[in-house]
């Protein structure tokens, strides 16, 4: 883009997104070099400029002008332009000011590509994220394909600006772009012989729910969703990418695109599906809302919507009973319903999923299946088959050719194409027929609801389903599980059948359709449908005639061109009448005195036309809300009724812009513990919107459990009833003017709550907020809190700092002087209120006792607890500690059976609880095997270990103020050569496995006594005479150490050495784990699809370029230095290194976010997506970086055992 300016201004001034006194013309990032404009329809161009200025736009032989309104907004329409493959310049000029020039602008088709992370998933590969389709990247030389990626974000109010730019598709640019969108666009572009430029706009964000992507105008005529307009019934899902508020992603990422013209949208979402179940078939209704909302927001008469049906994920079901409503299977059925929306379609990903990865890599099939719908409906390829078989009807018959003595359910299908077949598909390869195969994943039940695996046989274009155990079948289902791996019904066009569930094959409903003279309706007459099926009816007038009215069950729905019956549960009628002249419809316009809607008078609109309105506040006023057809559609400065076929109303509410207050924020008191257990620190918080996530909100409190109390005053700006809304992870409550307004303290839901109270402008009132978070109870991304308010003159917004005032008495400090050999709790500086008190615990270090505690040099003796009461001044606290007396424990470590002493053995004295962690005392035996340790009085456990010997069992030793002599320990030879056993954090060997079958729970090798619980069903496999653990993705195998880590593990680097034998299964994952400390702190694994080594070190992940061959016995070692630089070795050869500066590996820190992030797992975590597939031998984990010599010693030991 180039900028020419008549005024002498800094370049930055020419890029302003909002008008100012000396504003120049500006547009958002949708308009840039290389952009694609939509062909064959009027094309809006819009932006901002100085008020009342004339704007001139020139492109492709057209010159159009517009005048900026009082708010500086302007818009004009270029006449419809045919396809233009050669780029040319588009200019936008403000009279007397600047000119914007955009080069290489083409005209073709624009598609919006939305959803969550599977839509964002890139074609290339970056640190484990992406399809890694380098061949497709290298061949992506398609200058007619252009793409634009919308930056992520969620906002309460609609945004006008967009920071983005178009890119021309090339090998250098395509890697980070959406793989699904690329394959979709490429298929169309190549099919059309590169004669139509394709513009792909991706707006996607991981982990998001559909609710935040909807436009309010989409739900105005869906009564079941009207409660959404309250904006307080949806449980928020806060995480760093998703504040979770309804419409927030649309406001931030889609509204800035409007009124961009586009051909349609593709949508890949549902992994975060319909979780709230406000209404039956809610996810389908929200998809319908999404389509018509975007269509209306963009001012389009027609808008294609093609969605992706979810892929399979996780372990398979253990029985024949189908999944229940609310499952992924149920979401798939609601995604299928989109096929019967006007201009709707669905592409199945059922056969391209990865049980171990929510992000399946085969995006080629997904993108090209979506393109089939577009090619047929939008590019004239009417003979294409666009979908796999979709259930149409079921009939119970007494006998069939295959099973003459059984009653069967005969299933009929739409989208049969060239016929039905048993098929299968491999990634990036077309599906193929299995001529000798049998259908799988069909189940059948009678009225008793007991499900059985069914025999299913293809007969023509139907499937006959029966079971010898179900005499009177009434229910049937196919592939109705989250992971129906093995489902194999296809059509011969290579497209998989859509899963289905029918709970009563006799429950059917009839829709009777009739049309008057002058047109038709299709399908016409009486047609029967299964329960919970959608049905699309199209109304077509004859040439020279117009649709006059359409009635459903006798009630007018307007003169619509198409009508979809939502999931059927009753009989219906639909009828259409036609007229010789086009009807017109009234649009009533109203607003208060703070602004204007333009046009402002009531007007008539001819059938099928669109009518746009500008919403313009007066000077010093702002828009509060816009309402269309009685439903609020948010804070809009424009609104369009598209394809008008009924009467409408639009109104706007304006209010003066208030003067801000002078507040600086609230006082916040932070406590350790989730019930205000221990006061730690107080500060002024300028904002009460916080996204702490997995981190502590302040260093003085733990990230795992804390509570916060905000206090002060709030100053309203209007004398009105205010509604306050809190959104938070876990629990909070709010008092305003001493009234408990929102109380989410003891309930398990919701995480969003609201309450209302009448307030007076300028009158400060008390406000108090209490919030707590506990990672053990909730596992939803960490700590988050947000407070908003709303009134008749105040749109929803985060309560600003200017209206919050810190109040209250002064705060006193209690300073703890540095101490040695012990500690006080709470530690550091503690803040206290006047008249308050603070209790301390005095904690001597091991081997020490309390000598004396002083407060301001006044002795408290050797008290283990004390309280500083009635605090009216600052105080200083000191504590001293003295060493406890120790007594010698001595003996000898010998070979079992009365052998000689063992030199260099390690003897450890542990706490009586177990042998985990570091020993309290330790010693190394001398040349004759003797040792001597001094310990304080108490009962301890003694254990010894030595290279080449099995560690000893725990031996109880009681010290009673006298030496203990002759405490001898015998060790049995192991034949192992394990170095530095005292530095092991954990190890596990296969010697104690059973000879066959499931491994069951296991215990550690060194340090001994640690127990592990199985995940899935790991089994024993003997390779020669050596036992291995067999780990399988199919059963999501692994182990979990029976310990929740609450404190960091001290370390001086780290080392993992293990024996593995990978088995490829083609299933990729973001990572696959063999050893996993805390999710991402210390992880070593092998990827199942490629054999790449995978490492996570202090939150940073990396994959090796080199791969481990499939089936190769490999001694795999990871050595992490204290500065977190690391190397990986495979059979002694370096295969990976990292020299980047990461966080030091001086401790291994739990993530304090609950679940696996505070655990050690081996083989993979629960859920299966990170499960390693193959054999695992012995595993050793050290809390230090082994030297090369020690590493090679251990590798040699493992090689002798496993790589014979």
pLDDT tens per residue, range 1173-1183: 999 999 999 99
Note the pLDDT of residue 913. 58
Arithmetic mean of pLDDT, 939-949: 83
Q: In this structure, are strands 1100-1107 and 666-672 parallel, antiparallel, or unpaired?
A: unpaired
Task: Note the pLDDT of residue 702.
Answer: 82
Q: What is the pLDDT of residues 327-363, one digit of tens each?
A: 889 999 999 999 999 999 999 999 998 776 788 889 9
293-327: pLDDT as tens digits = 999 999 898 999 999 999 988 766 668 999 877 78
In sequence order, what are the residues at sequence separation of 6 or more whose Cβ sits closer than 8 angstroms to the Cβ of residue 65? Answer: 54, 55, 56, 57, 76
Share of the chain above pLDDT 70, in %: 91
Contact call for residues 154 and 242 (beta carbons, < 8 A): yes
Helix ranges (H only) for 121-260 are 134-138, 179-191, 248-249
DSSP 8-state code for residue 868? E
Contact call for residues 916 and 942 (beta carbons, < 8 A): no
Reported confidence tier of residue 234, pLDDT bands at 50, 70, 90: very low
Q: In the chain, what are the domain boundaries?
A: 313-324+394-506, 508-579, 584-656, 666-805, 812-881, 887-971, 981-1202
- As a whole number of angstroms, the distance between CA 618 and CA 640 comes to 21
> Which of 124-128, 789-793, 1153-1157 has the weakest average pLDDT?
1153-1157
Taking the C-alpha atoms of residue 386 and residue 301, their distance in angstroms, rounded to an integer, is: 23
Task: List pLDDT tens digits, range 130-152.
Answer: 888 899 999 999 999 999 999 88
C-beta of residue 890 within 8 angstroms of C-beta of residue 880: no
Q: Best-predicted range by mean pLDDT among 48-52, 517-521, 689-693?
A: 517-521
In sequence order, what are the residues at sequence separation of 6 or more whose Cβ sits closer than 8 angstroms to the Cβ of residue 550? 539, 556, 557, 558, 559, 560, 563, 574, 575, 576, 577
Q: What pLDDT band is residue 1151 in, cutting at 50, 70 and 90?
A: low
3-state SS class at 784: strand
Average pLDDT value over all residues in the chain: 87
Q: What local confidence, expressed as pLDDT, does residue 277 receive? A: 52
Query: Which tens digits make up the pLDDT trace of 756-781?
Result: 999 999 999 999 999 988 876 655 55
The kind and range of the H/E element at 62 are strand 62-67
CA distance 29 to 502: 48
The residue assigned the tokens 């492709």 is 60
Q: Tell me the pLDDT band of 271, cut-offs 50, 70 and 90.
A: confident
Query: What average pLDDT does this structure show over 279-293?
Result: 91
At 235, is the pLDDT very low, low, confident or very high (cuts 50, 70, 90)?
very low
Decide: 499 and 480 in contact? Cβ < 8 Å.
yes
* pLDDT average, residue stretch 115-120: 92
812-881 domain in CATH 3.40.50? Answer: no
Q: Is the pLDDT of residue 192 over 80?
A: yes
What's the fold here for domain 887-971? Answer: Immunoglobulin-like (2.60.40)
Per CATH, the number for 666-805 is 2.60.120.1560
Can you read off the two tokens belonging to residue 258? 């409007």
| H or E segment and range at residue 1200 | helix 1188-1202
What pLDDT sits at residue 221? Answer: 84
Q: Please write the tens of the pLDDT for every residue from 839-848.
A: 888 999 889 9
- Closest among 28, 22, 29, 21 to 5, alpha carbons compared: 22
Task: Flag the least confident range among 504-513, 654-663, 677-686, 1147-1156.
Answer: 1147-1156
Long-range residue pairs from 449-458, CB within 8 A, at least 24 positions apart, any chain? 449/475, 451/319, 451/320, 451/321, 451/322, 451/475, 451/477, 452/320, 453/320, 455/402, 455/403, 456/489, 457/400, 457/402, 457/403, 458/420, 458/421, 458/422
Same fold yes or no, 887-971 and 981-1202:
no
pTM: 0.71
Structure tokens that stand for 909 in this block: 């004295």
Mean pLDDT across 822-838 = 80
- Cβ proximity of 130 and 368 under 8 Å: no
Question: Measured between alpha carbons, how far apart are the two ends of the chain, in Å?
Answer: 66
Strand partners, 768: 711, 735
Whole-angstrom distance, CA of residue 1017 vs CA of residue 1038: 8
Mean pLDDT of 1022-1026: 90
**What pLDDT does residue 1153 have?**
42
Helix axes 179-191, 363-378, angle to 10 degrees: 40
pLDDT given at position 1154: 40
1070 pLDDT above the threshold of 70? no
Cα–Cα distance for residue pair 1116/793, rounded to 1 Å: 66
Does the pLDDT at position 12 exceed 70? no
Q: What is the pLDDT of residues 559-575, one digit of tens each?
A: 999 999 999 999 999 99
Residue 1117 and residue 1130: Cα distance in Å, rounded?
7
Scanning the structure block, which residue is given the tokens 């036992």? 1027
Residue 592: predicted pLDDT: 92
- CA-to-CA distance for 395 and 372, rounded, in angstroms? 31
H or E element in which residue 373 lies: helix 363-378
Tell me, what's the pLDDT at 449? 93
Residue 96 Cα distances to 5, 7, 58, 656, 937, angstroms: 9, 8, 16, 32, 92
CA separation for the pair 757, 738 (Å, rounded): 11
The top-level CATH class assigned to 981-1202 is: mainly beta
Torsion of Cα atoms, 253 then 258 then 262 then 268, to 10°: 20
Rounded to an integer, what distance in angstroms lies between the CA atom of residue 981 and that of residue 517? 92
What separation in angstroms does the CA of 227 have from each of 219, 233, 721, 774, 1099? Answer: 10, 8, 21, 31, 41
Does residue 694 register a pLDDT over 80?
no
The Cα 121–Cα 308 span in angstroms is 14
Lowest mean pLDDT among 240-244, 816-820, 1091-1095: 240-244
**DSSP output for 1044-1081:** ---SPEE-BSEEEEEEEEE---S---S--BSEEETTTT
Phi and psi at residue 772, to the nearest 5°: -140, 155
Q: Work out whether the CA dihedral 1176, 1179, 1185, 1187 comes out positive or negative.
A: negative
pLDDT > 90: percent of the chain: 56
At 1081 the pLDDT is: 83
Beta strands in 856-974 (DSSP E): 858-859, 865-868, 875-883, 887-895, 906-910, 921-924, 930-935, 938-945, 955-959, 969-971
DSSP string, 556-595: E--S-SEEEE-S--S-EEEEEEEESS--EEEEEEEE-TTE
pLDDT (0 to 100) of residue 1155: 42
């Amino acid at each position: 883009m180039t900028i020419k300016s008549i005024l002498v201004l800094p370049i930055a001034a020419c890029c302003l997104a909002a008008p100012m006194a000396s504003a120049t013309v500006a547009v958002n990032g949708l308009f840039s070099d290389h952009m694609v404009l939509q062909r064959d329809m009027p094309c809006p161009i819009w932006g901002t400029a100085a008020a009342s200025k004339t704007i001139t736009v020139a492109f492709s032989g057209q010159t159009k002008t517009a005048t900026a309104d009082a708010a500086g907004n302007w818009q004009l329409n270029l006449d419809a332009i045919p396809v233009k493959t050669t780029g040319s310049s588009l200019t936008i000029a403000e009279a007397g000011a600047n000119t914007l020039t955009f080069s290489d602008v083409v005209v073709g088709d624009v598609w919006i590509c939305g959803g969550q992370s599977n839509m964002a998933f890139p074609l290339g590969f970056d640190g484990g994220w992406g399809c890694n389709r380098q061949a497709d990247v290298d061949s992506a030389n398609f200058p007619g394909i252009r793409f634009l990626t919308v930056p992520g974000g969620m906002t309460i109010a609609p945004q006008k600006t967009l920071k983005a730019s178009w890119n021309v598709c090339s090998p250098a640019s395509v890697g980070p772009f959406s793989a699904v969108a690329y394959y979709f666009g490429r298929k169309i572009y190549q099919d059309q012989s590169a004669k139509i430029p394709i513009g792909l706009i991706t707006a996607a964000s991981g982990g998001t729910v559909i609710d935040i992507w909807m436009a309010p105008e989409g739900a105005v005529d869906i009564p079941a969703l009207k409660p959404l307009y309250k904006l307080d019934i949806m449980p928020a899902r806060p995480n760093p990418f998703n504040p979770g508020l309804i419409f927030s992603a649309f406001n931030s990422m889609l509204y800035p695109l409007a009124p961009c013209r586009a051909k349609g949208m593709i949508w890949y979402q549902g992994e975060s599906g319909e979780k709230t179940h406000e209404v039956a078939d809610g996810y389908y209704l929200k998809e319908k809302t999404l389509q018509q909302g975007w269509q209306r927001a963009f001012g389009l008469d027609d808008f294609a919507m093609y969605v992706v049906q979810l892929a399979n994920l996780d372990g398979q079901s253990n029985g024949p009973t189908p999944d229940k409503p609310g499952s992924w299977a149920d979401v798939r059925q609601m995604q299928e319903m989109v096929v019967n929306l006007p201009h709707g379609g669905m592409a199945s990903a059922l056969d391209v999923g990865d049980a171990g990865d929510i992000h399946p890599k085969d995006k080629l099939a997904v993108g090209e299946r979506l393109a089939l719908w577009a090619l047929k409906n939008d590019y004239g390829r009417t003979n294409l088959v666009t979908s796999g078989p979709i259930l149409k009807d079921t009939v119970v018959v007494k006998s069939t050719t295959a099973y003459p003595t059984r009653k069967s359910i005969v299933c009929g299908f739409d989208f049969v194409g060239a016929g039905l077949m048993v098929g299968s598909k491999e990634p990036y390869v077309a599906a193929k027929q299995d001529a000798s195969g049998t259908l799988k994943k069909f189940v059948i039940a009678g009225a008793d609801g007991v499900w059985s695996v069914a025999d299913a046989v293809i007969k023509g274009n139907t499937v006959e389903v029966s079971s010898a155990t179900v005499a009177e079948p009434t229910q049937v289902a196919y592939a109705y599980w989250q992971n129906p791996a093995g489902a194999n019904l296809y059509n011969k066009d290579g497209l998989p059948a859509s899963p289905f569930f029918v709970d009563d094959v006799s429950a059917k409903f009839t829709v009777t359709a009739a049309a008057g003279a002058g047109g038709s309706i299709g399908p016409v007459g009486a047609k029967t449908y299964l329960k919970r099926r959608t049905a699309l009816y199209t109304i077509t007038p004859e040439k020279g005639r117009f649709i006059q009215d359409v009635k459903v069950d006798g009630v007018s729905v307007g003169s619509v061109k198409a009508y979809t019956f939502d999931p059927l549960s009753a009989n219906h009628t639909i009828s259409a009448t036609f007229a010789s002249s086009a009807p017109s419809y009234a649009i009533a316009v109203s607003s208060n005195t703070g602004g204007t809607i333009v046009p402002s008078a009531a007007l008539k609109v001819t059938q099928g036309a669109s009518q746009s309105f500008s919403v313009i506040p007066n000077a010093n006023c702002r828009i509060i809300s816009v309402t269309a057809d009685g439903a609020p559609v948010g804070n809009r400065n424009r609104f369009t009724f598209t394809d008008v076929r009924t009467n409408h109303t639009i109104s706007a509410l304006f209010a003066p812009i208030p003067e801000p207050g002078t507040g600086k924020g609230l006082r916040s008191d932070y406590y350790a513990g989730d019930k205000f257990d221990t006061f730690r620190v107080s500060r002024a918080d300028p904002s009460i919107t916080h996204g702490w996530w997995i981190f502590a909100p302040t260093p003085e409190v733990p990230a795992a459990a804390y509570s916060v109390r905000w206090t002060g005053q709030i100053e309203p700006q209007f004398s009105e009833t205010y509604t306050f809304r809190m959104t938070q992870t876990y629990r909070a409550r709010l008092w305003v003017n001493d009234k408990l307004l929102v109380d989410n303290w003891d309930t398990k839901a919701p995480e969003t709550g609201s309450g209302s109270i009448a307030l007076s402008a300028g009158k400060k009132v008390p406000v108090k907020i209490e919030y707590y978070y506990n990672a053990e109870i909730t596992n939803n991304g960490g700590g988050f809190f947000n407070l908003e308010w709303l009134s008749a003159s105040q749109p929803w917004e985060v309560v600003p700092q200017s209206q919050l005032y810190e109040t209250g008495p002064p705060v006193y400090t209690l300073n703890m002087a540095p101490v040695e050999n012990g500690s006080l709790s709470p530690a550091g500086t503690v803040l206290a209120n006047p008249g308050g008190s603070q209790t301390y615990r005095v904690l001597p270090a091991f081997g020490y006792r309390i000598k004396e505690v002083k407060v301001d040099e006044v002795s408290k003796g050797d008290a283990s607890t004390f309280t500083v009461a009635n605090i009216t001044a600052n105080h200083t606290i000191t504590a001293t500690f003295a060493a406890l007396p120790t007594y010698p424990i001595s003996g000898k470590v010998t070979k079992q059976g009365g052998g000689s002493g063992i030199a260099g053995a390690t003897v450890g004295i542990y706490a009586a609880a177990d042998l985990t962690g570091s020993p309290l005392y330790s010693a190394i035996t001398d040349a004759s095997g003797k040792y001597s340790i001094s310990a304080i009085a108490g009962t301890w456990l003694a254990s010894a270990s030595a290279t080449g010997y099995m560690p000893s069992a725990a031996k109880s030793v009681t010290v009673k103020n006298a030496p203990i002599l002759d405490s001898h320990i015998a060790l049995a030879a192991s034949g192992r050569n394990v170095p530095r056993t005292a530095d092991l954090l954990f190890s596990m060997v296969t010697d104690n496995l059973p000879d066959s079958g499931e491994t069951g729970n296991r215990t550690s090798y060194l340090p001994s006594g640690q127990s592990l619980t199985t995940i899935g069903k790991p089994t024993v496999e003997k390779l020669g005479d050596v036992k291995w653990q067999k780990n399988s993705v199919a059963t999501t195998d692994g182990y979990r150490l029976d310990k929740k880590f609450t404190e960091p593990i001290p370390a001086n680097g780290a080392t993992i050495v293990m024996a593995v034998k990978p088995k490829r299964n083609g299933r990729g994952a973001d990572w696959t784990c063999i050893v996993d400390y805390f999710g991402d702190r210390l992880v070593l694994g092998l990827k199942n699809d490629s054999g790449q080594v995978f490492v996570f070190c202090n939150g940073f992940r990396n994959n090796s370029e080199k791969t481990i061959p499939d089936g190769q016995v490999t001694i795999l070692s990871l050595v992490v230095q204290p500065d977190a630089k690391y190397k990986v070795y495979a059979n002694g050869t370096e295969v990976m290194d990292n020299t980047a500066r990461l966080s030091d590996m001086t401790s291994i820190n739990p993530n304090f976010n609950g679940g696996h992030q505070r655990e050690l797992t081996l083989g993979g975590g629960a859920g299966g997506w990170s499960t390693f597939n193959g054999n695992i031998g012995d595993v050793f984990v050290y809390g230090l970086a082994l030297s090369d010599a020690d590493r090679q010693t251990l590798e040699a030991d493992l090689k002798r055992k496993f790589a014979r």
